[in-house]
Amino acid sequence: MVYLQTKFPQFPEYTIFISLYRGVQKEVIEGVKTGLISGDEKYDFCFLNTTHIISVEQLYNAVHKALLNDLNESKVAKTLNTEIILNLSPINNIGDALRRFGVNENQSDVIVIKVLPSGTNEAGLDKLNNSVIELLGGSSVSNPTLNDDIIFSDLVDMKKLKKVYKLNDAKIDFSQSIQNDISKLVIACCHLRGC
């Protein structure tokens, strides 16, 4: 049972929870989608597929930017969860962002993000993680640590990622890791969405 938690210096009032679940069944994902559409509170999380995610840093960047937009009152989406998804995307269209980054029936790896009040303690986070595991199929899903290694070796689809972020012609700096270099490019792309 593992999840990441972090805080942003500019937003001490929040704790960010991020976790990975693998082996989520098709029917469960259909249920998540239905729950999201009907606004069921049980599903008040940011649910992502992993195809176009290259690093943990990319996820944090999107959450940070969503909180910044919230603070500046320049949020485009109605909810913070959707604003996070939009801020992962290089394309300034919520429907398109949901299609590319949201959960879908053909992908059994799911990343879940939740922005919580910073008072949330360890026990609260454990409980939250348990409830997400229940929601996604209980004992049939695994909950490995989300980190850059598992992202790069198991989760990301580099070909699709490069296509979505239009990085096929990018010159990769081989003096650092490819993952790190592309992650930085992807983040800049997100900051230029709609510009």
Partner 1 sequence: MTDRLVDEAKLLLRNVSFQIVSQGAEALVFKTNIHPYFNDDQDESSYIIKYRPRKPYRHPKIDKSITKSRTIGEVKFMFKLAKAGIRAPRVVSTDYFNGIIWMEHIGYSLPDGKESTLKNWLWYLEKVRGESLSEEVQRICVEVGYLIGDLHLNDMIHGDLTSSNIMLDKKGPALIDFGLSSYSALPEDKAVDLYVLERAMNSTHADYASEYNSWLLKGYEKAHSDGHYSKQANKSFVEIIKRLEDVRLRGRKRSMIG
72 touches partner 1 by CB under 8 A: yes
167 touches partner 1 by CB under 8 A: yes
Least spacing, CB of residue 130 vs partner 1, in Å? 26
For partner 1 (CB under 8 A), the number of binding residues is 31
Which of residues 142 and 192 has its CB atom nearest to partner 1 in the complex?
A: 192
139 touches partner 1 by CB under 8 A: no
64 touches partner 1 by CB under 8 A: yes
Least spacing, CB of residue 107 vs partner 1, in Å? 25
Q: Which of 81, 74, 142 is nearest to 108 (CA)?
A: 142
Least spacing, CB of residue 122 vs partner 1, in Å? 19
Interface with partner 1 by CB under 8 A: which range of 31-39, 54-62, 108-116, 131-139? 54-62
> Which amino acid is located at 151 in the chain?
I
Residues that bind partner 1 (CB under 8 A): 6, 8-12, 56-57, 60-61, 63-65, 68, 72, 74, 167, 169-173, 175, 184-185, 187-189, 191-192, 195
